[in-house]
Amino acid sequence: MKTMIDQNVLDKANVWLNGDYDEETKQAVRDMMENNPQELTEAFYRDLEFGTGGLRGIMGAGSNRMNKYTVGMATQGFSNYLKMNFPEKEQISVVIACDSRNNSRYFSEVAANIFSANGIKVYLFDDLRPTPELSFAIRHLKCQGGIMITASHNPKEYNGYKAYWEDGGQLISPHDKNVITEVSKIGNIDDVEFSGNPALIESIGKEVDNVYLKKVKALSLSPEVIKRRKDFSIVYTPLHGTGIKLVPDSLTNFGFQNVHIVEEQAVPDGNFPTVKSPNPEEPAALKLAIEKAKAIGADLVMATDPDGDRVGIAVRSGNDFVLLNGNQAASLLINYLLTKWSENGKLTGNEFIVKTIVTSELLFDLAEKYDVQHFDVLTGFKYIADIIKRFEGEKTFIGGGEESYGYLVGDFVRDKDAVISCSMIAETAAWAADQGIGMYEMLKELYVEFGFYKEKLVSIVRKGKAGAEEINKIMDDFRTHPPKTLGGSKVVRIKDYQTGIDHDLVTNSKKTIDLPKSNVLQFFTENGSKVSVRPSGTEPKIKFYFGIKGQLRKKEDFDKINAVLEAQIEDIICELKLK
């Protein structure tokens, strides 16, 4: 039986067939119409939109795909918006960088041509570069915006487009919505200026690298420790991505002389041939690095994602390695920063840290120990950047992080930064070693002092149009029928960031949440557990974040308490029917 195709999908596909699109694109649309109506629906049922990470999608023909035309319309809309916002600026300028993904360089050149055709000066990196260097370069070159062509850690068929404002942070409200409005005004691709002006495109590279790396080096808090521990053994893998450009150089600048690269993964390659997924959150991505670390007796393993903004780490525990999650790595890093700032006499009472609402509360415990201000923001590092911008010139940002393996130290970058993070995590590990202790043991000590924070993330993938509808239904069901208990403990508080209401179920009182509206729900129980639910802004997933807290009286009880807390989380997962 012939599959019926939605009329809206057919209408959009016919626009592409009859418009001024290249023949290869038209042929791809014809093939879908004739042979794969389901794929046609997925390619045209909507337009790509900016989420928490910008534009992201599967590469191919269609309005819901990453291609020359969707990149072109996004860039034209962004160009129009920049010109609206900076009418007095004699020369508006932007920076463009890209990662190692297939078509990334091509998309970056398409965007460069469109910006320049609109009279906007373009600084185009000469080769792939990490996302954080793009953020840095915007401020360094005093530009009004920038874009990074990347799909972060998504599978190889994806690519994406992260848009940045003049502060070096990704677009947030109102700019993100306004850019979408400008893009939607572009009726067809005839409105896109594809023919570039080479006179307005300038290649940049090593000169920006050098300034950036010098600033990263200045973040070091324990140079004397690294001198003593210069032979501290580290294995690093860029997972075929941009990290190879700067991470090894930065570690060398810090003084580490015993850094080993996973050579099989050192070559940039958009097919990511040695991993199923280039995601440092996944244990399989670190497999080769851990094998190398065991073979040479290293103490620390670090892996960065394709665009070099997130890092996953594994630390030695006896003869084996333990993968730390993003909450644990962030806790160790923030503990080190706060301890050294205190020891070095740098705390004046005017400093702060930031985390996201789904990240471990242990970070706030650490801040309170040192009487340092702390802020919660929505998921997405752009909101951390916004807090830094808000307090610029008034307060000093020490560091921040999110559970999804993104961290930042210092304020000269306005996005998560794996180059900085690798350097500072290595310094943290060397500092621990200088005290005769490993990172894993140091984490246990934090749990003894502050309580054992146990977190887990469960992601449910639902692809395509039907998947998006199912995810919306799951969120609706949680709103209309919230759980009364979780893990046997009564739900006493619900935060709905979409309605902006914080509801105390014990007193039945309600107050307003002082954050932007977002499709996130949080449930808090009587025994201190926290469950957060949110659709991903960049992937076809709905994410469940579980956080519980127990007591660890001595390090020797770690395994026992860990098993108890793990069982409690599993109970909640079963109760929510996620398995």
Residues involved in catalysis: 152
What token pair was written down for 67? 């291609």
Q: Is 166 helix (H, G, I), strand (E, B) or coil?
A: coil
Q: Of 114, 90, 99, which Cα lies nearest the Cα of 150?
A: 99
Angstrom distances, CA of residue 38 to CA of 15, 29, 145, 154, 465: 18, 12, 37, 22, 10
DSSP conformational letter for 126: S
Angstrom distances, CA of residue 253 to CA of 62, 333, 446: 46, 19, 30
Provide the phi-psi class of 508: left if phi over 0, else alpha when psi is between -120 and 50, else beta.
left
**How are strands ordered across the β-sheet holding 158-165?**
55-58, 158-165, 145-149, 93-98, 121-125, 201-204
What token pair was written down for 453? 């924070």
Q: What's the CA dihedral at 354, 355, 361, 366 to 10 degrees?
A: -40
Residues paired with 455 in a beta bridge: 547
Residue type, 240: H
Query: How many other CB atoms are there within 10 angstroms of residue 554's CB atom?
Result: 9
Q: β-pairing, 300-304 with 234-237?
A: parallel
Residue type, 413: V
What are the backbone dihedrals phi and psi of residue 37, each rounded to the nearest 5 degrees, phi first?
Answer: -60, -30
Q: What's the CA dihedral at 376, 380, 382, 383 to 10 degrees?
A: -20
What token pair was written down for 215? 């600033």
Spatial distance between the Cα atoms of 349 and 362, rounded to a whole number of angstroms: 20
Q: Of 269, 264, 276, which Cα lies nearest the Cα of 235?
A: 264
Q: Is the dihedral of CA 441, 443, 446, 452 positive or negative?
A: negative
Q: Of 391, 441, 435, 389, which Cα lies nearest the Cα of 415?
A: 389
SS (H, E, C) 427-479: HHHHHHHHCCCCHHHHHHHHHHHHCEEEEEEEEEECCHHHHHHHHHHHHHHHH
Q: Of 274, 254, 256, which Cα lies nearest the Cα of 264?
A: 274
Residue type, 428: T
Cis amide bond preceding 174, omega within 30: yes
